[in-house]
Structure 1
């Protein structure tokens, strides 16, 4: 299998992953509630985010954590998110950049879980 090298690869990763998220019984309802009819905008943002994270693309700007702080999520949601992300990577890619994607996804999940838990527990402000 090829490694992640192009914007088309990022699009394949993001589209394949979010199709799984939409159909997932745990994650799907949360994403559908939050995004409603705005999936296309979200996907465009994710193409830019992962393009920046994996290919050095400079088109992404934003603060992703702030958009997640009030979501009704806990450790089980992040574990499922990671499982689906790793599964998607393994189905399409293999190589150093795919490995880096796994590391970054793990770091994102751990960081977001800790910050969201702290925020929702009343220990932090957005």
Structure 2
């Protein structure tokens, strides 16, 4: 196991994670069927997002919450979906990395998943 300490490590993490996501029965359909994600565009954004979150590189410019509201409108993004996302993310980190940044990636992802689940639920009630 290695430490999570570079953009290349983030690329490995993100690529490995999404390889699981697209096959997952609980959340894969959001990416494959609903959004029909263009991975050549999506993955670099995710590399930059996590590089910003973990290393403070400020390479990500965007609003992830705003990107998810239209998806939530098409198909409800519920707590169990975010729980599965989080499970796959943690699993991918634990399979590949150790150290402070790996732990921080888990903590940050827990905060993101909880906030997103809450905001998506609130949006459905409006």
Provide TM-score, normalisation by structure 2. 0.92
RMSD of aligned alpha carbons? 1.1
Match of 2:47 in 1: 47
Tell me, in whole angstroms, the C-alpha distance in 2 between the residues paired with 1:55 and 1:21: 24
Q: Structure 1, unaligned stretches of length 5 or more?
A: none
Gaps of 5+ in 2: none
Q: Is the 8 A contact 1:69 1:120 kept in 2?
A: no
3-state SS of 1:43 partner:
helix
Task: Give the SS at the match of 2:62.
Answer: coil
For 1:26, the equivalent position in structure 2 comes to 26
Map of 1:8 onto structure 2: 8
Q: 1:81 aligns with which of 81, 85, 101?
A: 85
1:37: Cα distance to partner?
5.0
Count of residue pairs brought into register by the alignment: 122
User: For residues 96 and 56 of structure 1, what CA distance do their matches in structure 2 show?
Assistant: 15
What is the CA deviation profile of residues 67-94 of structure 1, one whole-angstrom value per residue up to 9, with x for unaligned ones? 1123221011011001000000000001
Give the secondary structure class of the aligned counterpart of 1:101. Answer: helix
Q: 1:90 aligns to what? A: 94
Relative distance call for 1:104 and 1:37 in structure 2 (3 A) is closer
Match of 2:59 in 1: 59
TM-score by length of 1: 0.92
What residue number does 2:110 align with?
Answer: 106
* Partner residue, 1:115: 119
Structure 1 distance, partners of 2:95, 2:86, is 14
Partner SS state of residue 69, structure 1: helix
